[in-house]
């Protein structure tokens, strides 16, 4: 029994999901801490966290400190959409290869 109909349906689902991802961005949103040495204190004190968006541009890492909670939420969503896009592309290749293999049998 051929699995072609199920594989083609899965391929269409993946493509629909990819098509629904409108806003995406490479990079990451992390939280940075700074180590401060206080005069007379043997242990450092950490300040933060400071939200930070980082990405690669022209082979260099570019960072931008984030202050607005709405901007942080929006960038986190865009970065997550990019990671979802990458996972879906990998699944699409797997399904396409399975379709090719089924057609050979």
- Global confidence as pTM: 0.81
Token duo for residue 100: 């090719």
Q: What DSSP character marks residue 105?
A: -
Rg, C-alpha atoms of the chain = 22
Question: What is the tens place of the pLDDT at every residue in 27-59?
Answer: 999 999 998 988 888 888 888 899 999 999 999
Domain residue extents for the chain = 4-104
| Owner of token pair 């057609």 | 103
- Do residues 50 and 65 touch, judged by C-beta distance below 8 A? yes
């Amino acid at each position: 029994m051929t699995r072609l109909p199920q594989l083609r349906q899965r391929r269409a689902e993946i493509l629909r999901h990819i098509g629904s991802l409108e806003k995406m961005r490479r990079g990451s949103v992390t939280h940075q801490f700074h180590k401060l040495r206080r005069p007379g204190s043997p242990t450092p004190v950490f300040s933060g966290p400071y939200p930070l968006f980082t990405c690669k541009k022209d082979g260099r890492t570019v960072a931008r400190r984030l202050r607005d909670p709405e901007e942080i939420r929006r960038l986190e969503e865009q970065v997550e959409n990019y990671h979802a896009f990458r996972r879906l592309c990998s699944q699409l290749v797997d399904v396409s290869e399975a379709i090719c293999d089924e057609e050979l049998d």
